[in-house]
Chain A
Amino acid sequence: MELVVENLAKTYPNGVRALKGISLTIPTGMYGLLGPNGAGKSTFMRILATLQDADQGSAKLGEIDILKQPHELRRVLGYLPQEFGVYPKTSAERMLHHLAVLKGISNSGERKELVAGLLHRVNLYDHRKKNLTGYSGGMRQRFGIAQALLGDPKLLIVDEPTAGLDPGERNRFYNLLAELGEQTIVILSTHIVQDVKELCTRMAIINVGDLLFDGSPEEAESALAGKIWAKSITKSDLESYQDRHRVISTKLVGGRPLIHVYSDQDVGDGFESVAPDLEDVFFSKIHAVA
């Protein structure tokens, strides 16, 4: 099954054009949606999750027209929003049961089994009786995934799931996601390049409503091979380097700025060629240099 998005556009009443006509085809597997804050990722995800309308374009999951048949899509959808709250004084197990009923799993035996299975799966079984309000961020996100998995979704949308997680929590969360990508379309939005690299077989980069790249991370990296040059400089020189070169990123390494520059040829000037990573891809796309 594939998710086919064609020319999807959305403008908010205040005039912000969140999506400017995006076309994508997303196959089974982990699909990373990369973009800086405000790129339109969440709008895109919410449209796919039937929580917002598009102005134009279409989105189809197999036979289901997402924009016109929201109810049909919801049957096969798992969605983990960027931010979600919990009810006070409610345990994970109770809440999961409740959501399972809303999902349409009315047979209580089936539901019991399902909930227990999911809790095991996200490793929360031991804490199932605890109130959700007492969960740590990572546990809460795993609970989020568990609820998204209720009902065996064909399409799983996770919006910025690792925001606010510490590295350990993040790793555990990735393990869980990776496993899911084997049978399902999983769309993962993030502004953290590392996430995509570690997880996704395919990815897209969007910025201010435009699709900048769609392909596999390896493709993206190899397209930049030999074009990224790095140099450690002093802070006061930064401006002059920016005038002379197409600087795509600056980061501090040991307190000194390390700049990456995009160039088809050797730029000399003390720059060394480096193997491009996904971050270079991201920044070069965003700065529209490649």
Chain B
Amino acid sequence: MKQFIEIFRFELGYWFRGWMIFIFVGIMTLLFWGASYSDNVQLGGAVENTNRNAPLVIQNYFAISSVLTLLMTTAFASSAATRDFASKTNQLVYSTPLNKWSYLWGRYLGCSVAAMTPMLGISLGVLIASSMTDNDPAQWGPNRLSPHLMGFLLFAVPNTLLASAVIFAVASWTRSSTVAFVAAICLLVGYGFSQSLLDDLDNEKIAMMADPLGTTAFSVQTRYWTITERNSMTLGPTGILLYNRLLWVAMGGLAFAAGGLGFRFKERAKAGKKPVDDGASTASMPAKTERPKVKIDESGAGRFATIRAQFGIDFGETIRSRVFLILMAVAILNVLAALFTGAGEGFGNSSLPVTYNVIEIVRGTTLLFAISIVTFYSGVLVWKEREAKLDEVYDAMPYPTWTTYVAKFGVMLAIVLLVQLVNAMSGILYQTTQDYSRYQIGQYAFELILMDVLLLMWLVFLSMLCHVLSPNKYVGYFAFIVVLIGNEYLWFALDVPSIMVNYATTPSYVYSDFIGFGPYLQSLGWFAAYWTLVGTLLGVLTVLFWQRGKENHYARRFSAAGRRLSAPLLGFAGLVALALTSCGGWIFYNTHVLNTVRSSNEQKDLTADYEKTYRQYVDLNQPRITNVRYEIDLYPESRSISFRGQQTIENKSLEAIDQVHFSFDTSFDHTIDVPGSTLTTDDNRLGYRIFDLDSPMLPGESREMSFEVAYSPKGFEQSTSMMQIMTNGSFFNNQLAPQIGYQPDAELSVRSDRRKREMGEPNRMAELHADCGLYCSNTYLSNNSDWVDVETIISTSEDQIAIAPGSLVNEWTEDGRRYFHYKVDHPSVNFYSFMSARYEVKRDEVLGIDLEVYYHPEHHWNVDKMVNSMRKSLDYYSKNFGPYRHNQARIIEFPRWASFAQAFPGTMPYSEGIGFIADLEGEDSIDMVFYVVAHEMAHQWWAHQVIGARVEGATLLSETLAQYSALMVMEREYGRDMMRKFLRYEMDRYLRSRGSDALREEPLATVDARQGYVHYRKGSVVLYYLKEMIGEDKVNAALRELVQKFAYKDPPYPTSLDLIAALRRQVPDDKQYLLTDLFEQITLFDNRAIAATYQETEDGKYEVTLEFETKKLVADSEGEESEVEMDDYVEVGAFAKPETGRRYGKTLYRESMRLTQGKHTHTFVTEELPDEVGVDPFALLIDRVGDDNSKRPRSK
């Protein structure tokens, strides 16, 4: 024990006497001070209504730092475990009568305690930030001890103990700190693997246990936390998190014990080989020989030979080393695991392994790994000769320093290339295993081999410089990581949007099969050249400061650098600098002069100014558009457009109008012509124009006006914008046109953004009233039109098809361009899309309506399914809701710069990135394509026939009803079980999003248009439940009534109250309470099964007894719950064991009972053996703990 204490104290003292621990504490403090203080750095979920020092946020800081814990522990533990061998004190220490276990435990615990110390920096950082005086007080709550304590005890302590044990074990076996590094990387891979398991809800529990760092369990257990809970509660050691922590600390213990058993104090014999000695037999030296005359070759070829030799030996040694092979094996496993588990597309579904997705997954899992390899090997190579004690031999050789640099740089490049090649091969291998043979090798080459190798090369430049300037390898590693983090972080914090200062950063881009990389090549190319030149200069610096000889004092190295700066080197550096200046200048000219780069704060300032200056006009009486004729000329090759419109505007009000106002997007050139008017305000910064009418527009009067919107790209941008106008696959809508009046939709909605700009609470949608008067005269999509007639002539290049709303009237070719003339068949909402690309078209017909799918010729996989969904949807909706008013329904694919589908009248643009690539082969998989198409088709009724007024709850009438409609079509196609699976995801997404809502959670009746998680996710769950309770016919009857009353009708537009009223007329008296619970308040249940038993009866049936508890809660807008009296219908049910390969078993029993809150016992009889018995067994009610509703019954 004494020995142990002494070793432990010595170890601890060793670290606290050094600098490393303090630097680590400093870094952590700085990092988390920045994270909690800066608005621009978002880490750990302090969004909006969650305080910056909310307990959950702090605990989450500890959780996400686990990866850093791993890195730091590696530094401490690998040194502690191998120090005696490395510094050759082993013979001293090990010859003492020391107990092996005292020695190991002392070392292990000592270095573990040291290694967990830097985590205190998290607390320190947050505390410092919380005491800053310029904080926004609304974002800071009281400082509490418990989250710090729990964060430290649940993450810092166990993770350090685990990592340190593993590293200790590996290092004591192998006596190599390098192999220990590899062990640490393996832990990291385990973490990454468990993350990728999470995609599928069914894997959740496995993922929670499998994560060695415990963060997965933590995030799953806290995901449904509401705002109030996030701000006040700390997660203690409970549930799976507790088991996870115990498991992994135990695993650490096992690893440590195994390592300890293998540990020997003895010096290990070198693989059983005795050193050779030629001994006395060669005692005499050979006769004197002539010393051969040699020529020292200093020509270019000689230099090349030197470089090649150095490269050969360094590269050969690296790739033959066991460590490298292990690393590569880990890399491949990691990538393949990620590919096989991670190719998800939501709802636990897979997409086809299209190359861009595969590359994305490969990058996601390996880029960090590749950066680690760069970090690791650049250190190894820079310090190689010195570590092998060959530096004096080498340094006295007559080769110039730059050859060494070039050789080692080449080795790094070769390693990186090798890693990336392996990654690309893994991707291709994966595609092959999936029977997918559209490999798109060019894409692999461009992204994984060219762009990523360039990025890694720039990092090599930086990393080697860091090592050359550092006094030892570890400082070098550390310096590089600090510089990397600083580079990622600093520019955000300083709100510098230009990536020209952000080392090794290139413009972001989105590949699409429509456009390839074409539109991005220019900016990517210039930035690649720019960073390569910057890197080359770093390379020159590295050569200058390369340590040659034993002189490591900085003043000396400076003067050595001066001496080394020979004329040719200076000339080279000068040339590079000149090229860099030109290249940088050109980039600056293109990105900052021809185009603009705005930080998100500058963008928000503009938005704020727009609101501050022009919100005064929000209720100004304005004319409304009744008819538009578009003439659009699109030039895909140059990404240019001329978008002209002639529109009729009408004063539909009872008062005269003497001004017309326009808001417009300043990225386009706008010409607006209002005949008989004077332009009095022309604000091109904020995009606002006011025309004073020479003679006021009288009530009922119509006038003609026109506009032209033009765009053509100038030079290249930092990140390519205006994705709507593309070389192939243009997709834009009529909101390109100047909009009449002030447009409130763009206003800042995040509270802290507004407070910082002294703007008060966000403007919400108008309050919901039974009699909404003026507010009901606008739809939530438009404040300047009702139902309009539209006609379009659109031209594009000869090889593309352009699509505008309505029926195709005429099509012709003129001057090598293709023209299309479309006309809408029925006046519709003024919300239209225009598209143009080289399309393949699939046509079909149902009920006299043309069905068309326009798609990329290679994306044929799911087109038939889309047509099927259109058919089934049209059929169901026209039967149940009312007639479809267009002569066609079109699905049109657009490039994947956005991943959504959207419904315009008769037209549904659908992203390349979803649906078209869904893999629907799985038995059990939810047909995403079918669902999305059904949803968009439903919008042809819900939004395009019946559209909500511009008041709260408007999206209940469009999005929620579209979800309901889609669910009904899906249920017919795929059956009940599929709905259970689908709704489980919907429930999960609803509950998960509540805590991070930037607004305040609203019930469905008053949902804000920005609260998608309410109107889609909760909407699905709630309406499906209502349908289960009162029946599909009744719900549809109410919806039919809504269509009859409001479809294509002039204002006032309907509100959510109209829907609820229509439903009320259908709901029987005893269930009227449902409408209040489901639509008017946030109702939750906390039901659970307590015990379930069964007994076989004499006639071969089963008598089942279920004991359960019910509880009903109402939550406020921050999630604060209070229990309420309950007198509700609740279901009890039983299922048989699922057949193999099936998720759900047959329903054996289902009974709805009216119950109060509290404990209940219910006994019933089933025909077959029950496998699962429970309350609310289909999980139809919103319940934050859904998995305790059912139990497997025990035999009595």
Scan B556-596; emit 1 where CB is below 8 A from any A CB, else 0: 10011001000000000000000000000000000000000
Interface members, chain A 98-116 (any B CB < 8 Å):
98-99, 101-107, 110, 113-114
Min distance, Cβ A46 to any Cβ of chain B, angstroms: 6
Interface pair B392/A176, CB less than 8 Å apart:
no
B297 touches A102 (CB 8 A): no
Do A52 and B549 touch across chains, with their CB atoms under 8 A apart?
A: yes
Interface size class of B (residues with CB under 8 A): 35 or more
The reply on B306 being an interface residue by CB < 8 A is yes
Q: Give complex CA distance A169, B122 in Å.
A: 60
Q: Which one, A83, A102, A120, A172, contacts B394 given CB within 8 A?
A: A102
Q: Decide yes or no: A101 and B306 within 8 Å by CB, A51-B396, A134-B276 being known contacts.
A: yes
How close is B86's CB to chain A, nearest CB, in angstroms? 13
For residue A75, CB closer than 8 A to chain B, the reply is yes
Residues of B within 8 A of A107 (CB): 295, 297
Q: Which segment, of A135-143, A214-222, A276-284, faces chain B?
A: A135-143
Given contacts A85-B388, A105-B295, A152-B293, whether A139 and B309 have CB atoms under 8 Å apart is no
Residues on the B chain within 8 Å of A133, using CB: 270
In the complex, how many angstroms separate the beta carbon of B633 from the nearest chain A beta carbon? 65
A74 in contact (CB, < 8 A): yes
- A103 proximity list for chain B (CB < 8 A): 296, 397-399
Count of chain A residues with a beta carbon within 8 Å of a chain B beta carbon: 62
Contact with B along A135-162 (1 / 0, CB 8 A): 1101100001001011110000000000
Query: Do the beta carbons of A105 and B398 come within 8 Å of each other?
Result: no
Given contacts A53-B551, A106-B301, contact A75 B286 (CB under 8 A): no
The interface residues of chain A lying within 8 Å CB-to-CB of B313 are 87, 90, 98
Known: A85-B388, A110-B294, A127-B278. A79 touches B396 (CB 8 A): yes
Decide if B291 is an interface residue (CB 8 Å cutoff): yes
Q: Among the listed B273, B296, B389, which residue makes an inter-chain contact with A84, where contact means beta carbons less than 8 Å apart?
A: B389
Q: A102-B306, A172-B283 are in contact. Are A53 and B556 (CB under 8 A)?
A: yes
Contact call A114/B294, Cβ cutoff below 8 A: yes
Q: Give A102 Cβ to nearest chain B Cβ, in Å.
A: 4
* Among A49, A103, A124: residue with most chain B CB under 10 A: A103
CB-CB under 8 A from A84, the residues of chain B are 389-390, 392-393
A113 and B398 contact, Cβ closer than 8 Å, known pairs A81-B392, A136-B276, A147-B393: no
- Pick from B292, B317, B395: contact of A51, CB below 8 A: B395
Q: Are B275 and A135 in contact (CB under 8 A)?
A: yes
A183 within 8 A of B: yes
Contact of A126 among B275, B278, B309 (CB under 8 A): B278
Min Cβ gap A167→B in Å is: 11
Whether B277 and A139, one on each chain, are in contact in the complex, defined by CB atoms closer than 8 angstroms, is yes
Q: Tell me how far the C-beta of A270 lies from the nearest C-beta in chain B, rounded to whole angstroms.
A: 43
Q: Please give, as numbers and ranges, the residues of chain A lying within 8 Å of B308 by CB-CB distance.
A: 101
* Inter-subunit contact B397/A74 (CB<8 Å): yes
Cβ-neighbour of A77 out of B280, B289, B398 (below 8 A): B398
What residues of A have a CB within 8 angstroms of the CB of B312 in the complex?
98
Find out whether the CB atom of B292 lies under 8 angstroms from the CB atom of A79. no
Q: Within the complex, which residue of A50, A52, A172 is in contact with B282, where a contact is CB–CB below 8 Å?
A: A172
Main SS of chain B's interface residues?
Answer: loop
Query: A134 to B212, alpha carbons, bound, how many Å?
Result: 42
Is the Cβ of A151 less than 8 Å from the Cβ of B393? Answer: no
* Residue B486 interfacial (CB < 8 Å): no
Given A71-B400, A81-B393, check contact A152 B388 (CB 8 Å).
no
Q: How far is the CA of A97 from the CA of B288 in the complex (A)?
A: 22
A38 in contact (CB, < 8 A): no
What's the nearest-Cβ distance from chain B to residue A101, in Å? 4
A103 to B392, CA, bound (A): 13
Chain B's closest residue to A147 (CB) is B393
The distance in angstroms between the C-alpha atoms of A105 and B291, with both chains bound, is: 15
- Docked CA distance A80–B390 (Å): 10
* Interchain CA distance A46-B285 in the complex, whole Å: 29
Contact sample, A vs B, 28 pairs, CB 8 Å cutoff: A49-B396, A50-B549, A51-B392, A51-B549, A68-B563, A75-B296, A80-B393, A84-B390, A87-B317, A87-B390, A97-B309, A99-B394, A102-B306, A102-B397, A102-B399, A103-B296, A103-B399, A104-B298, A105-B296, A106-B297, A106-B299, A106-B302, A113-B292, A120-B289, A127-B276, A135-B275, A139-B277, A152-B292
Shortest beta-carbon contacts, A-B, top 4? A85-B389, A51-B549, A81-B392, A74-B398
B positions within 8 Å CB-CB of A: 270, 273, 275-280, 282-286, 288-289, 291-299, 301-302, 305-306, 308-310, 312-313, 317, 320, 387-390, 392-400, 548-551, 553, 556, 559-560, 563
Question: What 20 new A-B contacts, CB under 8 Å, besides A99-B394, A102-B394?
Answer: A46-B550, A49-B392, A53-B556, A77-B398, A85-B389, A86-B388, A90-B317, A101-B309, A103-B399, A104-B296, A104-B306, A104-B399, A106-B297, A117-B289, A120-B289, A121-B286, A123-B285, A151-B296, A151-B398, A179-B285
